[in-house]
Amino acid sequence: MNKQHKIVIVGGGAGGLELATRLGHAYGRNKRALVTLVDKNRTHIWKPKLHEIASGSMDLGDHEVDYMAQAHWHHFTFRIGELTGLDRSQKTIELAPYLDEAGVAVTPTQRISYDTLVICIGSLSNDFGTQGVKEYALKLETQHDAKSFHSKMVNACIRAHNQLDVIHKRQLHVAIIGAGATGVELAAELHRTTREVVAFGLDRIDVDKDIKVSLIEAADRILPALQPRMSQATEKLISHLGVQVLTSSKVMEVTPTGIRLADGREIESELVVWAAGVKAPDFLKDFSGLETNRINQLVVFDTLQTTRDPDVFALGDCAACPCSDADGGRAGFVPPRAQAAHQQASHMLQQIKRRMAHQPLQAYRYRDFGSLVSLGKFSTVGNMMGGLTGKSLMIEGYFAKLMYMSLYKLHELAIHGLIKTTLFTLSRLITKQTNPTVKLH
C-alpha cells in the first residue's frame, strides 16, 4: 500500500482555504493524500471585507466560514493553533497551544509532519516603528480588530448622545492613517454608517457638524500604488462625501488624544486607525533558516518554492514572488492582493498534482486584471487591464461595483461551489430586509 502524501497548509486566508478545499476534493475524498489546514482562528473571513465589518455595514456572522465544518464537508483536516516552529530536517511544524478567553489551554503543543508544506499566513500593517501606534492606534488585521473598532465606534456615538456636556471637537472624529485601499474604503463606509447609527435615535448628534473622518497619507496622493487618474477620481468622490483628505502628511506620533504630523500639526481624534504599510509577520524573519526580505516575506522562486527548501512553498501576501512582465523579463514582485492569492492557490493546486505525479513544476505568472476600490453604496472606482484596446480601461460607478462584488463571489464559489453560494446570497438578501441598515452592536 502506497504511503499517503502529507500536505500541510498553514494559514486559512483567501489562498489557503481555497487550496485546502480544492485539494480535499482532489485527494482527501479518495484518501490519496492527507490534507491538513492550520490556522490560529476558528473561522475564516475574506480579508478585503474587514473594513465593512469595522464600519458596521456587514454582519460578520453572515459571512464567516467555520473551518471545522468546511474541513468535514470538503475532506480535509483542520488543526487550530499558531505556527511557532519548523523543523525542516524532520519535516515537522510546531503549533502553540490554543487558549480560550480565560487563558486555559484547549489544545496542547502540536507537532504535524508534512511531505509538502505551504505557508500562506498573509500580511500585517507596517507601523515603521512610529511612536504611539501600538499603544493608541487601532488596526484592521483580524476579525477581532474589526469587531473591536466597530464596538468602539458605536459606543462613541452613544456616549456623545448621552453626555451632559457639549460634544468636544475630538469626539466622533476618526483619523485613518494610510490612504491605500483599506483606508480609503473604510473612510467611505464610515461616512455612511456613522450617520445611520445616529439615525437610530441619537438625535443630540449633529451629523454634519459633529461627525468627522480624516484620511492621512504620507505620499503626495491617495492610493499611491495605483494609477494617478484612479487616485484623482477617488479623492474627488470621497472629498465630496465630506471626508477630509490630507496628503504629503507624514505621521510622527500617535498620542492619547490624536496624532502629530511631521510639520508639527496636531489632529485631535477619538479613534485612530493605522492602515499604512504592509509586512509579513515578524516571526517569519529567517524562520528556520528560510530566506526572507526586509519586510519578512519568504523569498520564493517562480515555482512558489522557497529558495532554501524545495518541499516548503509560500503564496499570498507572505511570499516575495518574482513577477514577470509581458516580455518574460523580471518586473519586481507580485503585489499583495486578493486576486494574486486566488491565482496562486489555483497554481499551487496544479503544482501539487505535478509533485504527486513526479512531474517537473511550472512557473507561476501573475495576471493583473486591474484594481477596484469600493466607496460603499456611493460608488466604486477601478481599472480593468487588457480590454479591447490592450490598455488599461478606467471604470466607475455601477459597472465597477458589479466587478468588485464579483471578486468576492469568485472566492465564495471556490470554497462553497455554485449551489451553496447561490443559497448564501439569497439568504443574505432576505435577512437584509428585516435587519437594521447598519449593525448596532
Mean pLDDT (whole number) for 339-365: 95
Do residues 51 and 186 lie in contact, with contact meaning Cβ atoms separated by under 8 Å?
Answer: yes
Residues 379 and 300 in one domain: no
Residues 156 and 27 in one domain: no
CA gyration radius for the chain? Answer: 23
Residue 380 scores a pLDDT above 80? no
Give the pLDDT band of residue 330 (cuts 50, 70, 90): low
What are the distances in angstroms from CA 23 to CA 3, 184, 349?
A: 17, 36, 7
Residues 140 and 247 in one domain: yes
Give the pLDDT band of residue 437 (cuts 50, 70, 90): confident
> What pLDDT is attached to residue 408?
87
Per-residue pLDDT reduced to its tens digit, 232-276: 988 998 999 899 999 999 999 999 999 999 999 999 999 999 999
Residues 90 and 140 in one domain: no
Which of 362, 322, 321, 316 has the alpha carbon at shortest distance from 339? 316
> What pLDDT is attached to residue 22?
96
Q: Identify residue 180 by its one-letter amino acid code.
A: G
Residue 285 lies in a domain: yes
Residues 366, 260: Cα–Cα separation, whole Å: 39
* CATH, residue 67: 3.50.50.60
Residues 325 and 338 in one domain: yes
Residues 258 and 234 in one domain: yes
Give the pLDDT band of residue 326 (cuts 50, 70, 90): very low
Residues 270 and 283 in one domain: no
Residues 289 and 318 in one domain: yes
Residue 315 lies in a domain: yes
Neighbour-count burial for 308-340, b at 16+ CB within 10 Å, e otherwise: ebeebbbbbbbbbbbbbeeeeeeeebbebbbbb
Residue ending a domain, among 250, 274, 298, is: 274
Structural domain tally of the chain? 3
Cell numbers given for 352: 501539487
Per-residue pLDDT reduced to its tens digit, 199-223: 999 989 999 899 999 999 999 999 9
Residues 319 and 267 in one domain: no
Residue 410 scores a pLDDT above 70? yes
Residue 365 lies in a domain: no
Q: Identify residue 305 by its one-letter amino acid code.
A: Q
Which of 28, 138, 12, 34 has the alpha carbon at shortest distance from 83? 12
Residues 16, 34: Cα–Cα separation, whole Å: 15
Give the pLDDT band of residue 1 (cuts 50, 70, 90): very low
> What pLDDT is attached to residue 220?
95
Residue 188 scores a pLDDT above 70? yes
Do residues 140 and 274 lie in contact, with contact meaning Cβ atoms separated by under 8 Å?
Answer: no
Residue 327 scores a pLDDT above 50? no
Burial class (CB in 10 A: 0-12, 13-18, 19+), 185: buried
Residue 363 lies in a domain: no
Four-point Cα dihedral 243, 181, 122, 96, nearest 10:
10
Residue of higher predicted confidence among 220 and 434: 220
> What pLDDT is attached to residue 389?
40
Mean pLDDT (whole number) for 432-440: 79
What are the distances in angstroms from CA 238 to CA 363, 380, 381?
A: 40, 11, 11
Residue 168 lies in a domain: yes
Residue ending a domain, among 274, 295, 310, is: 274
Residue ending a domain, among 331, 356, 381, is: 356
Cell numbers given for 321: 514572488
pLDDT, averaged across the chain: 90
Residue 410 lies in a domain: yes
Give the pLDDT band of residue 286 (cuts 50, 70, 90): confident
Mean pLDDT (whole number) for 110-117: 98
> What pLDDT is attached to residue 431?
83
Residues 126, 122: Cα–Cα separation, whole Å: 13
Residue of higher predicted confidence among 98 and 432: 98
For residue 310, the SS3 value is strand
Residue showing cell 438578501: 429
Report the run of H or E that residue 409 belongs to, with start and end: helix 398-416
Residue 437 lies in a domain: no
Residues in the chain: 441
Residues 216 and 143 in one domain: yes
Residue 361 lies in a domain: no
Neighbours of 436 (CB within 10 A): 14
pTM summary value: 0.91
What are the distances in angstroms from CA 368 to CA 20, 225, 325, 326, 337?
A: 24, 13, 10, 11, 10
Do residues 379 and 397 lie in contact, with contact meaning Cβ atoms separated by under 8 Å?
Answer: yes
Residues 264 and 292 in one domain: no
Q: Which domain holds residue 156?
A: 133-274
For residue 87, the SS3 value is strand
Residues 156 and 263 in one domain: yes
Say what percent of the chain tops pLDDT 70. Answer: 92
Residues 90, 119: Cα–Cα separation, whole Å: 17
Give the pLDDT band of residue 376 (cuts 50, 70, 90): confident
What are the distances in angstroms from CA 375 to CA 6, 181, 234, 329, 400?
A: 43, 10, 8, 35, 11
Per-residue pLDDT reduced to its tens digit, 7-63: 999 999 999 999 999 999 999 888 999 999 999 999 999 998 999 999 998 888 889
